[in-house]
Amino acid sequence: MGEIIDLKGMLKELDESVRDELKTAPEVVDSGTTLDISKLPIEARRWLKVSGVFAVVADLKGSTKLGTGKRAASTASIYEAGTGNIVKIFNRFDADFIAIQGDGALALFWDEQCFERAMCAAITIRTFSADFSERLEKKWPDSPETGFKVGVAEGRLLVKRVGTPRNPNEQEPIWAGKAVNYAAKAAQAADRHQVIVTGSVWDLVEKNDYLSISCGCPSGPSLNIWSNVEIKNLPDGEPEAQGRMLFAGWCELHGPQFCQAIMDGEKKRDDVAHLRAEVQKSQFGNLLAEKARKARELRHLGPR
Ligand SMILES: [Zn+2]
């Protein structure tokens, strides 16, 4: 026989802790754009507020169809070679926080070069995804179609460590705020080998020639690597829902140079000045996108 569970007592205790939590507002400390995750409080009812955090979520397509029966070996390999390598990519771009979530992974980037690191990681996952699924399909032609769907969002987050005091194994930072949720929704809305960025992430992408305009292979630099997308699973009227979708990965020829330029903080390319104005115009004519852009501009004038 197992030990006796005092269910009634447990539920009463939980209810009392909810009551106590709601009695007084927790303290929120502004941490600016930086954060030392090792110093997060666990017992104190204190949350830290971090601004300008980029969240990247990579989701494995078709993972619900991966079985553990006859196909256990292929399922295990797909997870190991898939999720394991996504974490490697996040690490390579110095993600400030990484969590494996189900069949995918979440990374957060804050502080220096956070936008650049997040975008380079996202595009690298997109590039890796195509090679990854090609290899899988060769080895297991009858396995379900798979590959990574990527979402990127940005915003302010609240964070606190929760779990069992004095047992680090049972503690985890929890993140509250739209960026994590919206990145996950953007990833869900994508197909495999696609990166979807929310509205305010696009506002930054369009200011960087290396991200917004293709390298030019094979027929000259163009804007057709991105298209408008409405992230339908976000709340109605949310300006972030008017996002953009990237189809392309790093070019085999120019990718290394572009990635380095972005990480070095470069933004302008000499060869594409004529296309730069077109980038902003590329959302014109799409009334929803234009309205959302104005709403984001106004939002960004106020507190973030
Ligand atoms: Zn190229």
How far, in Å, is the centroid of ligand 1 from the Cα of 222? Answer: 11
Q: Which two tokens stand for residue 4?
A: 């006796």
How far, in Å, is the centroid of ligand 1 from the Cα of 297? Answer: 33
The full set of domains in the chain, from first to last, is 26-35+45-301 (3.30.70.1230)
**Tens of pLDDT along 87-128?**
999 999 999 999 998 778 999 999 999 999 999 999 999 999
How far, in Å, is the centroid of ligand 1 from the Cα of 184? Answer: 30
How far, in Å, is the centroid of ligand 1 from the Cα of 241? Answer: 30
How far, in Å, is the centroid of ligand 1 from the Cα of 86? Answer: 24
Residues 54-61, mean pLDDT to the nearest whole number? 95
Residues 238-244, mean pLDDT to the nearest whole number? 95
User: What's the CA gap between 190 and 219, in Å, rounded?
Assistant: 26
How far, in Å, is the centroid of ligand 1 from the Cα of 208? Answer: 17
Instruction: Write the single-letter amino acid at 35.
Output: L
How far, in Å, is the centroid of ligand 1 from the Cα of 209? Answer: 14
How far, in Å, is the centroid of ligand 1 from the Cα of 221? Answer: 9
pLDDT of the residue at 141: 83
**Tens of pLDDT along 156-189?**
999 999 888 888 788 889 999 999 999 999 999 9
pLDDT of the residue at 1: 63
How far, in Å, is the centroid of ligand 1 from the Cα of 49? Answer: 40
How far, in Å, is the centroid of ligand 1 from the Cα of 31? Answer: 40
pTM of the model: 0.91
